[in-house]
Structure 1
Amino acid sequence: QRASIARKASSSAQANSFHDSVFNHNSVLKKTAEMGISESEFNSAVTACQYARPGRGIYQFFAKETGDFSREEQAMFLAQLIHESAGFQYKEEIAYAGNNHHNAYQDNVGLPGKTYHGRGYIQLTWGANYKACSEDLGMGDYLLRNPEVVATNTELAVQVSVWYWRSRVRPQIRSQPNCFGATTKAINGAIECSNGFNQQAYNRYQKYLKVASALNIRNKARENGCYN
């Protein structure tokens, strides 16, 4: 009888836990829909950049992880995600996809036999960044030991992108508010922002303008902060 009671209690606790999880998840989506980007707007922004409508799960993870972003910041972040991933088609640097035997992005933090090329919608590179991201996400050194999982897990691909934005991009936004180029500089500045006009950086801003228009952002960010 005690075992039966225990099973019922366990079942009830699991049901309550599941209910709370669903409630919290739906609350996040509702809050984002009310204050941030709705799923319809998200899809419109992606298709405005000439890409196919993304899978439903991507928006859900985006909404969950960016609940504290303003619409203006969400627009800049989304534009960079779209550019980096070709409209959420890729979660891994194309040049190294599936190749775990190259020597790129080697540092003194990465582990032997592992590669730390770009993975995620904003591509995470270098062992030091995989380690820092993993620790900040409460995963210990899991991503350092298993970097390849970022390219196979949509939620992780979003999470590492948000981590990079918060830790590397936001400080640039604070020092250069409303300058989209500053976000590009924080993501790929060494290549796109160090030698005058750069077509890729320009293309990023053009995508941002399309995203901002799709989201009806009135105070659009300026192009400044990268090569100008």
Structure 2
Amino acid sequence: MAGKYLYATNFEQKFSNGFTVYQIKLEERATTTQENGFLQLSHNDDFENGEFDNFEENIEVGCTYELLAKPAKRTDSKTEMEQLRLSILPLITAFTTDMDGTSINVQRYYGIDYTVPKAGIPRICYILAENCEDCLQPLSTLIALTGCQKIDTSLFRSFTKQMLLGLTFLHNNRIIHKDIRCDNVLVRQQECPLKKKEYFLKLAHFEKAAFHDLNSKDNKILNIAEGSSRFASTEMQKLASFDWDDSIDVIGTLTDVFSLGCTVLEMYQRSPPNWIYTEKERQKESLFVFAPENKFDDFLANLRGLRNVGANPDISCINEKDALDFVRRCLLPRPERPSSSSLNEMHVFTKEASAKQGSPARYQVSKDEFRLAVIVNGFPQPTDSQYESFAKGVPYGHFTSRRELGMFLANILHESAGLRYRKEISPQPEYGKYYGRGYMQLTWEDNYRKASQALYHDDRLVENPDQVADDEDVAWATACWYWGAVVHSYPGVAEGKFGASIRAINSEEEGMGRNEVKSRARNEYYKRILAVFVPGEAPVESGS
């Protein structure tokens, strides 16, 4: 890297988050002089960590980049700089290993370092990033257009799909953005044949990002209440309002999914989400606040964005069924909230956009595969509506593989006699009116209530439990919810032990070998389904 220097052009822009962004051009020089130049970013005594030494292979001489410069609040504030460095380094590492270009929907970062403190000179953190500001505009600017330039809502599926692709890349690398919103999504518009326009999105502004170290018990950088109040997740809100419980609360990748739901809502509303309070919530005084040093979004000017724990956003502006369902799922409480990869690969809202992107879902099951899996077990061919409702419900199940989908469907075929019954034939008296309904035979009032709250944020299934049997969408949604809430995390299920799923669903009757005939029937269903979903994979029947 010796002899390569970064030279500035006449571009400079200030952002409200405290960064100054320079547009710079990398040129190769043989001398060590900095005359006419901006900054030397390697082998320089002014820098402490040398992270700029590692980005030679990922950048090109003669190309333009962004250099983000942020001074510390105090001349000796190494902690602030180190925290920022630790949040960006995993992103740089992820891009370095991203050889197949799957991170096209995320702004690239190449190097980071901060200066040695000098008398009277504040410590400065420098981040080298992909140049975006000269060719992309914030999504918030695009959706605010009016008149003949107004963006049609039909494009929102593609926008959401691209954001999900970016989030999935980040989350697969255990990076949490922590501030997803339209202001932090950049868009490039491109004219195409037949006078059509295409839009390409990139997630940007990772100044608050954090690395989720699954092997560390000390993720302090995660547990900082940052971001915009109108987009922050429920768990972030609890942290900020001092309602945090270390034993159950986690700031993880699902916090970005919540913010994504708010961002989709922002697209349809064309302004940040508004929050609705019940009278009980209004009486609470634990308003959502930010970390003391975070002066984000002119905090005092956004008092309407403040909200109590438990408040719900106003989603009445969304008049598309699929989009409404997508947003509702994103806003579910953790752990019922689906992951970014699950939504990306399963949800019908992004299905059309997925086909255009040309990236087949790893965990999706086609209509033909679904039909064959049912028929091969000797049952009648399922209807189109059954498959469509199945596909809509799948994100609630938190499935992580086609194998797990096969385990789920095998149990469903057994519980519903091949998708033919959605009501228990001989209900037990102790269940009362909350006897088995739906494809998973949901029972007990408590389970009806939990499912209703998770899926619809109200008690509609408690008040009218027959919906679980009478409505195809609800029958599949409750079945998938039960799998995600109860079965998915049961020991052995993630490892593909089919017997573990039987025990999680019906341990009293079939678990631990109590009814070998029924258990054997489920296993036979599973073997045939697995041969369809994952050809060549041997089933593991243990776990019961």
Q: TM-score, normalised by structure 2?
A: 0.34
Higher relative contact order (CA closer than 8 Å, sequence separation 6+)? 1
CA contact (8 A) 1:176 1:182 kept: no
Equivalent residue, structure 2, for 1:104: 430
CA contact (8 A) 1:29 1:60 kept: no
In the TM superposition, 1:3-82 aligns within 5 A as 18=320, 24=349, 26-27=351-352, 34-35=361-362, 36-67=364-395, 69=399, 70-82=401-413
Equivalent residue, structure 2, for 1:156: 474
Q: 1:131 to 1:85 in 2, by over 3 A?
A: same
Equivalent residue, structure 2, for 1:187: 505
CA contact (8 A) 2:492 2:500 kept: no
CA RMSD of aligned residues (A): 3.1
Measure, in 1, the Cα distance between the counterparts of 2:378 and 2:431: 31
Q: 1:176 to 1:37 in 2, by over 3 A?
A: closer
Unaligned runs of 5+ in 2: 1-146, 155-318, 324-347
Equivalent residue, structure 1, for 2:422: 91
Structure 2 letter corresponding to 1:133 = A
Equivalent residue, structure 2, for 1:109: none
Q: Give SS of 1:45's match.
A: helix
Q: Compute the displacement of 1:64 (Å).
A: 2.2
Q: Give SS of 1:95's match.
A: coil
Q: TM-score, normalised by structure 1?
A: 0.77
Q: Compute the displacement of 1:213 (Å).
A: 1.1
CA contact (8 A) 1:169 1:187 kept: yes
CA contact (8 A) 1:32 1:63 kept: no
Structure with greater proportional helix content: 1
Deviation by residue 1:140-190 (Cα, 9 ceiling, x = unmatched): 111111111111111000000001000110111556621001111111110
* Structure whose alpha-carbon radius of gyration is higher: 2
Q: Compute the displacement of 1:104 (Å).
A: 2.5
Measure, in 2, the Cα distance between the counterparts of 1:20 and 1:154: 15
CA contact (8 A) 1:184 1:201 kept: yes
Q: 1:19 to 1:124 in 2, by over 3 A?
A: closer
Percent identity of equivalent pairs: 31
Aligned residues: 203
Structure 2 letter corresponding to 1:47 = I
Measure, in 2, the Cα distance between the counterparts of 1:24 and 1:92: 29
Structure 1 letter corresponding to 2:529 = V
